[in-house]
Structure 1
Amino acid sequence: MYRVKFILAFWMLLMSLSLFAQEKRSLTHQDYDGWESVSSEKLSKNGDWVGYETYPQEGDGRVDFVSPSTGNNRFQVNRAKNFVFSNESNYAVGLIKPEIDKIRNLKLKDTKKEELPKDSVFILNLGEGKIEKLANIKSYKTPKNEGNWLAVHFEKDNAKVDIKKDSAEKVEKPKKTAGTRLLVRSFDGSKSWEFNRVKDFGFSDSGGYLFYVNAHEDTLKNEGIYVLNLKTGVSNKVDEGLNDYNKLTFSENEKWLTYMATEDSLKAKKPYYDLFLYNISKNSTQKIAAKNSTGVLDGGMISKNANLRFSKDASRLFFGTAPDYVAYAYEDDTTILKEERVSLDIWGWQDADIQPMQMKQKDREQKKSLLAAYNINNGTIIQLGDRDLENIVLDEKAKHKIALGIDDKPYKRNYSWDIQIGRDVYLVNIENGERELIQRGMKGYPALSPEGKYVYWYSNSDSTWMAYDVKSKEKKNLLAGLDVNFYDEIHDSPSMPSSYGNAGWMKGDDAFLVYDKYDIWKVDPTGKNKPQNITKGQGRAAQVTFRRESVEEDEEFIDPKSTLILSAFHELSKKNGFFIGDINGKNDPKEMVFTDHRYYGLKKAKGSNNLTVRRSTYQDNPEIYATDMHFSNLKQLSSTNAHQADIKWGSVELVDYLTNDGTPMQGLLYKPEDFDDQKKYPMMVYFYERNSDGLHNYRAPAPSASTINIPYFVSNDYVVFVPDIKYDLGLPGPSAYNSIMPGVHAVLDKGFVDRENMAIQGQSWGGYQVAYLITQTNMFKAAGAGAPVVNMTSAYGGIRWGTGMSRMFQYEQTQSRIGGTLWDKPSHYIENSPLFFADRVQTPVLIMHNDADGAVPWYQGIEMFMSLKRLNSPAWLLVYNDEDHNLVHRKNRKDLSVRLSQFFDHYLKGAPAPLWMTEGLPAIEKGRTLKYELSE
């Protein structure tokens, strides 16, 4: 009897679980808007609080503030964004955005922009949980490093004045001004100041002072700068009577304030700016640089477009100069009508940059500045950059007496086909402007070590790290004698391989930490000590990649006394986590946490050892966790998308297979949640280079910018396979076939895929591979190709309009992997171009190629469509107007998502075709109907 009852109970339990599973539903396109993500996490300086934003893809979100020590002490501010903690960690402040639905409804009523609701500011007392709100806010600021101060800038008051016609009282019309009210206060409100007509404002980093720029009533010619001493509450006038005070900057020691301004009218075609320096303690201002100042660029002027920057010791002020504007007779000829003016581009063979690149860079060129330095101690100006050497690079903290000069002009003409051009590198003396050539044609990107003892770079042509000793003027190969590869070992394009990067320099420039594929090496730049593998070769032995995690804010160098936190990633299993390393290399890395998750975004509180980290799997959104330096406990702080529990989701696993040449590869196989290996599932195959390292990436349901949304298709009972691809030079198409097809067959061998209902989809490079595959096999019932290159012979000579670059480099050196010019390897271009084999295509194709594509020429999609149309092969071309390579506008992404699912559901599931597929969308109906309706 007991056995019968047990069996009955067991079956009832199974039935209830089955019913529960049946209650789950598949994802729909309507789910996208409400799907939440977490972002902008911050720790208070003392580590007692963590704040983060949670926002749906479309709609109002919130900011949560959580105490990691308890996880229960929590405050929430709805519609909040852009928050910071006060420097004393006792307050939080941020913006509150207006309700999105309210704004939308007002826009539907054609409400004027200035009458729409504005942002508010919240001020949250973290100790008491009390919140204060200020309405109609333009912006707010707090000091960067110290000081519990807040400045709030209000919007213009747009309240309408009600003037009665029969009123005898005269109402004065508000005077126009470019400035609005500024409130400066302590966070607790015990001290506060208000200023009117403020245009600009900002704190010193240490919070001792605040500048504000006044725009006086009725005229902009009477602006003024003031500095408020936040200890005394006294404001001192810095300057008054000039125009366009800008780039106001405090020195780190709070001794100086610098700015630019002009005496010219803002309507002047060529306003000249002057540079000023204000001594805060002496309350005195002096003009230190102008157009004709000694030392300023010959024939040049002060550049308004350059930032102002003090050296760390405040002995120098760096600013920019620019060549004086040239007057052109034709441009200034007032006797020529607008319609009579010639407009043309002249492409010259001798030009360093081709015309499209020049047009893309025109604004930057017009605003280009050449670095100069003002010596505050002796009042001299040194012009560091000039027309011959324009690019001068200071060290990060501007604390050294040297800088780097980098000149690639001699090599720029080749950039259209050689993106790894060289550059001439100089050492520049900031005190006198003298230059010392380090190397001509350097194939690398140089930088200064933290103490300025070395210039270092990865030399692509030598596949090693190099250093130049500033004192001895000796150039060194830092890795000489090491039988280890420090270049990308799986590099598979016809270009010089890149490095694995570096972890930075030790204190005092005593050592340099550099990565191979798996391990970390400590290198003595003097060469006295042999390079040391501080991870003891454990990475390569276990196929685990170790990398140093930098968690200290504004870190200049690696402190040998600090904890060496290492991220760890297993190449095959994709396990991820953190280890503790030994900077001296005496001990093996010690595992702290190493699990089947993805970990990223490690952050540390500035004043404590409290950390936050993000963790995810395919099933789990990357939530925020709190922990310590030893990862002794991971406490989840954020929690999003509770509704996911009611949705059929799925799982992901690795598939190991061999390419046609026997190379081991991996792919990702996504299965529906209620997967049954006895059933036959339709399968989508998506690909783009290599993706298997993303095994534990969470993929949020979202409208498509160009590719299938994997969670949507998996939730709707598709199997999705994402194979990795290995490339052979000169054979991009065959390489794709030789990697993708064996992977597909490996999945088919598992027995649960309906081989009669499979499809492929890809975008850009993936779109090219889709187009190629359907000329080689009829195995797939449908295909989706986004922005595909189908004719390499015509695409080779095209332009990437997003950058203005010629497309030659892509075929000769990078992704297309041909490895030569069209005239050197014409057969390679033809044999890898799907267009020349279009008559083989029997697979229905959905193409998307947009008319403002800045990466792949739009005509490539047209060439594909027209060839298939002529061959009477089913094809549709989606062209989103004024859209780029990947869709930008959410409305268009939603539309593409619907059409992708309808297209593949029709061919793989036998669903009725929508009217846009059966009837098309005639131009006369454009904008009047979407034709989502299914045909009968």
Structure 2
Amino acid sequence: MASSYKNSIMLKLRPLILCTFLLIINYISAQKKPLDHSVYDAWQSVGSRLMSNDGKWLGYYVDVQEGDGNLYLYSTTQKTQQKFPRASKLFFTSDSKFALFTVKPFYKDIKAVKDKKLKKDKLTKDSLYIVNLSTQKTEKLANIKSYKAPLKGGSFIAYLLENLKDKSSDAAKDDDKEDAKEDDDKNIKPSELVVVNLATGKKQSFQNVVKYQFSENGKQLAFVTQKPEEKKDPKDKDKEKDKPKDKSQPKKYALQSVNLVNLENFGVNKLIEEEGSFAQLTFDQSGTQFALTGTTSAENDLVKDYHLYYFSKNKKAVLNQKSPKMPKDWVISEYQAPNFSKDGKQLYFGVAPKPIAKDTALIVNDHAILDVWSYKDDYLKTIQLKNLNKDLKKSYDAVLQTEKPETLTALSHPKMDSIAIINEGNAPYSLGISNNDSRADFQWTGVEKKTYYLVNNISGEATEFLKNHNGIIYPSPLGKFMVYFNRENGNWYAYDIDKKSTTQLNKGLAVKFTDEEFDMPDYPNAYGLEGFTDKDYSVIIKDRYDLWEFFLDGKTAPKNITNGFGRKNKISFDTYQLDKDIRSFNRTNDMYLFAFNEDNKQSGIFKTKIATSKNPELLQMGDFYGYKNLVKAKNAEVYTYTKETYQQAPNVYISDHFKTENKISDINPQQSQYNWGSTELISWTTPKGYPSKGILYKPEDFDPNKKYPMIVYFYEKLSDGLNRYIAPAPTPSRLNISYFVSNGYLVFAPDISYEDGHPGPSAVEYINSGVEYLKKNSWVNGKKIGIQGQSWGGYQVSYLITQNDLYAAAWAGAPVVNMTSAYGGIRWSSGMNRQFQYEKSQSRIGKTLWEAPELYLENSPLFHLDKVTTPVVIMSNDKDGAVPWYQGIEMFTALRRLDKKVWLLNYNNDDHNLTKRQNKKDIQIREQQFFDYYLKDTKAPVWMTRGIPSTLKGKDWGFELTDEKP
């Protein structure tokens, strides 16, 4: 009886306990503060990760948006880690005994130098850290210009010291280009190079070095020295300034020498010593062959004669414009580095037509400067000008056989754009590629059809095997087959090079291998080729969900290696490339697969074997966004990945065979102080009966008894990002979702599908129906709904506000409002004409302006702006490389003429998506103030009520809130 009585009492108390618990939770949430604009700089993100080959060490970066990040070295065996502030350029030696990285100056010091435009020699130099992973001892070396270590060569390191005696070297460097190769820096000054065998401690220094390079296996080191300039008496310098310069006199390069170091004994072999410039130091994989390019022409020659130098134990060759089989009036290219085939039997390099010298005697003011546009040009003049520098440096491929290095074979030429080497260069032929026949119509199709050739590496003879192909092509690893996808019929093919025969791989299969949801007026793309199996036996190709094995002999029926499990469960599978040295899949080994559930947006990892064709084995799956960036130790079954949710920042995990996992990072602990949010997958049916989905973001302290303003943000389909973490950050012009959710807004991100010819009405069909669906909830304030979109989203914002008065405020970033004028415009970032975008791509009209002018008018907001009642802000920047910024002007001047409430933001010299952080920060404040005024009834800022006259530009930003009305 007592027990029964007790249970009765507990049943009666349970609702009270639950209510009390919810009140406590709500109280705790209520104590959290909303995000503000001061939080951005310190918000963290996980950067790149690198594992030692033995899997015992993981290095990963934790970066901040603005400031100094940290490098962490984590021991997977001892479960401990060390933090190194401001570190970068991490490298583990191939024997896994040492970690190498540089440490930069403080961010505030770097910024001060840039802000004050000081010389960079005022900045502290980088330091090099060498961590002994066995003893945990760290050696710190100051004043490091650069360092290198062999990829597969034990414990060697070489580092170049800063030349502190010559401060001009620092002024010539560009610290913003950390990854730039020393070979590209023509202003580099001679410095001391130190080479160390970290295993033995043996060390050797070389003076006056300007370039250096290890062989991949760590057996050889090449370096170039340069004779320092003789110091001149200041009096002589003054005399030289007064003398007129005679540019007709040749100016010689400094004396340089090219040297090889045998790293077993540090013996030095001098290969070249001449007045010249030598670069692009290249070894073969065995370290027994060496090549470089260089010139001994005068430094002030307008056209220099470059040479290709080849060295091996028994042979030496120098090739130049006079070499046998060099095309007439062609030269060795200075812009393409030599590259040995994997087996070392072939050396690929660049050749080019001899450049035409610029006429230095030409007086500019005496001649017209103009661009002549011609209907016979293969590319539009804007594309030509955009690619001018690249075209002036364009190289064409050539090859020599290292058994007979004196003779070259030119493989490509202006009528054959490029060459792809096959079987890592081991094959006796190359893949020639030409797009000559499709360059003109590229401007309205957006596609360059290509013709493919097999080019004999000895004779140079080219044999065409695929003409005007619209699709992609993949040489098999051993070079036996060419596998290609034809976009126009949606089929996969294999071309047998020996038999000169073609087989359709997916013949007779009902399943599609093209994008089943493609909604543009063009041919759909393939889901993709995942890779080949060993010995060119078969190829792995994706459908929407599953992976298929197609046998290249054409005799064996294809197999679904995931056994239809993906399609049955709406899970799409992708393979991982876990070792870049392994170029094909072993059919009997474990294959790890990234998995994504299309319905519930979960992601995870499965395992299978190609040969079994059984249901893949589930290893991990959950309500996470992650796993896609899986990294494996080269020689151990140790894996690292990141995963995240909207509530949990992405963190680093370590796993052994995925049976257990260990979370080793914990970024953004400060998030617990702030009101965050949650995500919910929303489903509804549009008026025409189409199913759709979207994400609803709610504040963490959401109360269903309150009414919330809502901002609708969209860009095609976003629902796959349900579990993505969105850090509060100054965005390039997208909606700062985390900020608005934290500050009491609902944010809705609906998916949109499109009908050809009607992109505007399609947006109405999906977006507005989703909004109406959510308005049925009592906690949505239907009178306080805003919309925000950027680029294509900005166009849809502009269109939606012409259709009805559903929205109380609108923000359109880089919108197109007049498709008739934008149709013939230029995408300045590429130089391409915009016609392709309307006929074949995102704008989805599907016809030319002359075929269907009514569609261009129907879908252009400009012709319907008289119906607008919604206040709107436009962002349209004068250096926009994608959308002509006059589109924003057309929208602004029309709305202004129609006496509508409209503002235009032009961030000077910024792009389509903002690139300058100060501008990104500025737009966050303006967007918050705009939506707060119209959706929360707060005060309006000065920039909205009075504007900012040009006389106050750069003096007053107009953020002050007033009692005035816009």
CA distance in 2, matches of 1:547, 1:414: 34
Displacement of 1:332 in angstroms is 2.1
Contact preservation (8 Å) 1:582, 1:588: no
Identity %: 39
Q: Does 1:656 align with 2:683?
A: yes
Aligned residues: 913
Contact preservation (8 Å) 2:653, 2:663: yes
Matched residue type, 2:306: Y
Q: Comparing 444-453 with 601-610, which one deviates more in the overlay?
A: 444-453
Contact preservation (8 Å) 1:533, 1:585: no
Displacement of 1:594 in angstroms is 1.1
Q: Comparing 603-612 with 745-754, which one deviates more in the overlay?
A: 745-754
Structure-to-structure mapping, 1:190-205, within 5 angstroms: 190-205=201-216
CA distance in 2, matches of 1:689, 1:573: 19
Question: Of 131, 137, 141, which aligns to 2:138?
Answer: 131
Question: Of 758, 777, 786, which aligns to 2:813?
Answer: 786
CA distance in 2, matches of 1:562, 1:628: 17
CA distance in 2, matches of 1:443, 1:53: 41
Displacement of 1:678 in angstroms is 1.2
Question: Of 310, 315, 321, which aligns to 1:291?
Answer: 321
Structure-to-structure mapping, 1:81-100, within 5 angstroms: 81-100=88-107
Give the corresponding residue for 2:898.
871
Q: Give 3-state SS (helix, strand or coil) of 1:735's partner.
A: helix
Matched residue type, 2:90: F
Contact preservation (8 Å) 1:521, 1:532: yes
CA distance in 2, matches of 1:422, 1:808: 17
Displacement of 1:834 in angstroms is 0.2
CA distance in 2, matches of 1:10, 1:250: 71
CA distance in 2, matches of 1:578, 1:146: 33
CA-to-aligned-CA distance 1:440-476 (integer Å, 9 cap, x gap): 1111222210111111111111101111110110111
Q: Does 1:121 align with 2:132?
A: no
CA-to-aligned-CA distance 1:579-614 (integer Å, 9 cap, x gap): 111312442111111111112200110011111111
Q: Does 1:616 align with 2:644?
A: yes
Give the corresponding residue for 2:537.
510
Give the corresponding residue for 2:344.
314
- Aligned CA distance change for structure 1 residues 82 and 456 (closer, same or farther; 3 Å): same
Structure-to-structure mapping, 1:791-830, within 5 angstroms: 791-830=818-857
CA distance in 1, matches of 2:545, 2:25: 45
Matched residue type, 1:752: W
- Aligned CA distance change for structure 1 residues 247 and 105 (closer, same or farther; 3 Å): closer
Question: Of 225, 247, 268, which aligns to 2:280?
Answer: 247
Structure-to-structure mapping, 1:343-362, within 5 angstroms: 343-362=369-388
Give the corresponding residue for 2:236.
none
Contact preservation (8 Å) 1:297, 1:386: no
Q: Does 1:64 align with 2:72?
A: yes
CA distance in 1, matches of 2:787, 2:926: 15
Give the corresponding residue for 2:237.
none
Contact preservation (8 Å) 2:282, 2:290: yes
Matched residue type, 2:475: L
Q: Does 1:340 align with 2:366?
A: yes
Q: Does 1:748 align with 2:775?
A: yes
CA distance in 1, matches of 2:833, 2:188: 48
Displacement of 1:107 in angstroms is 5.4
CA distance in 2, matches of 1:711, 1:722: 13
Displacement of 1:643 in angstroms is 0.3
Question: Of 254, 259, 268, which aligns to 2:292?
Answer: 259
Displacement of 1:10 in angstroms is 9.3
Q: Give 3-state SS (helix, strand or coil) of 1:89's partner.
A: coil
Give the corresponding residue for 2:183.
none
Displacement of 1:326 in angstroms is 2.9
CA distance in 2, matches of 1:594, 1:846: 42
Q: Does 1:767 align with 2:794?
A: yes
Q: Comparing 25-34 with 119-128, which one deviates more in the overlay?
A: 119-128
Matched residue type, 1:209: Q
Give the corresponding residue for 1:55.
63
Q: Give 3-state SS (helix, strand or coil) of 1:917's partner.
A: helix
- Aligned CA distance change for structure 1 residues 811 and 520 (closer, same or farther; 3 Å): same
State the TM-score, normalized to the length of structure 2: 0.92
Contact preservation (8 Å) 1:535, 1:585: no
Give the corresponding residue for 1:636.
663
CA distance in 2, matches of 1:486, 1:879: 44
CA distance in 1, matches of 2:374, 2:22: 77
CA-to-aligned-CA distance 1:811-857 (integer Å, 9 cap, x gap): 00000000011000100000000000010000000100000000000
Give the corresponding residue for 1:553.
580
Q: Does 1:430 align with 2:488?
A: no
Q: Does 1:473 align with 2:484?
A: no
CA distance in 2, matches of 1:288, 1:559: 42
CA distance in 2, matches of 1:102, 1:356: 40
CA-to-aligned-CA distance 1:751-795 (integer Å, 9 cap, x gap): 211001000000000000000000001110000000000000000
Question: Of 330, 351, 368, which aligns to 2:394?
Answer: 368
CA-to-aligned-CA distance 1:502-560 (integer Å, 9 cap, x gap): 11111111111111101111111222111111111111111111222221232211112
Give the corresponding residue for 1:43.
51
Displacement of 1:15 in angstroms is 6.7
Question: Of 204, 213, 217, which aligns to 2:228?
Answer: 217
CA distance in 1, matches of 2:152, 2:277: 28
- Aligned CA distance change for structure 1 residues 470 and 103 (closer, same or farther; 3 Å): closer
Q: Give 3-state SS (helix, strand or coil) of 1:747's partner.
A: helix
Q: Does 1:582 align with 2:612?
A: no
Contact preservation (8 Å) 1:115, 1:158: no
Give the corresponding residue for 2:245.
none
CA distance in 2, matches of 1:159, 1:850: 42
Q: Does 1:101 align with 2:75?
A: no
Contact preservation (8 Å) 1:687, 1:761: yes
CA distance in 1, matches of 2:111, 2:860: 47
CA distance in 1, matches of 2:438, 2:577: 35
Contact preservation (8 Å) 1:553, 1:606: no
Contact preservation (8 Å) 2:307, 2:320: yes
Displacement of 1:68 in angstroms is 2.3
Q: Comparing 660-669 with 106-115, which one deviates more in the overlay?
A: 106-115
Q: Give 3-state SS (helix, strand or coil) of 1:467's partner.
A: strand
Q: Does 1:713 align with 2:740?
A: yes
- Aligned CA distance change for structure 1 residues 258 and 106 (closer, same or farther; 3 Å): closer
Give the corresponding residue for 2:36.
28
Contact preservation (8 Å) 1:177, 1:215: no
Matched residue type, 1:621: A
CA-atom RMSD in angstroms: 2.1
Structure-to-structure mapping, 1:264-279, within 5 angstroms: 264-279=297-312
Contact preservation (8 Å) 1:249, 1:259: yes
CA distance in 2, matches of 1:33, 1:743: 35
- Aligned CA distance change for structure 1 residues 21 and 400 (closer, same or farther; 3 Å): same
Question: Of 573, 587, 598, which aligns to 2:600?
Answer: 573
Question: Of 248, 271, 289, which aligns to 1:238?
Answer: 271
Matched residue type, 2:366: E
Structure-to-structure mapping, 1:590-609, within 5 angstroms: 590-599=617-626, 600-609=628-637
Q: Does 1:453 align with 2:480?
A: yes
Displacement of 1:337 in angstroms is 2.5
Q: Give 3-state SS (helix, strand or coil) of 1:836's partner.
A: helix
CA distance in 1, matches of 2:900, 2:613: 66
Q: Comparing 891-900 with 567-576, which one deviates more in the overlay?
A: 567-576
CA distance in 2, matches of 1:408, 1:907: 53
Displacement of 1:235 in angstroms is 1.3
Contact preservation (8 Å) 2:154, 2:218: yes
CA distance in 1, matches of 2:352, 2:188: 31
CA-to-aligned-CA distance 1:830-889 (integer Å, 9 cap, x gap): 000000001000000010000000000000000000000011100000000010100001
CA-to-aligned-CA distance 1:21-80 (integer Å, 9 cap, x gap): 333111111100000011110110000011101111001111001122342x21111111
Which residues of structure 1 form unaligned runs of 5+?
Answer: 162-175
Displacement of 1:301 in angstroms is 0.4
CA distance in 2, matches of 1:438, 1:31: 58
State the TM-score, normalized to the length of structure 1: 0.95
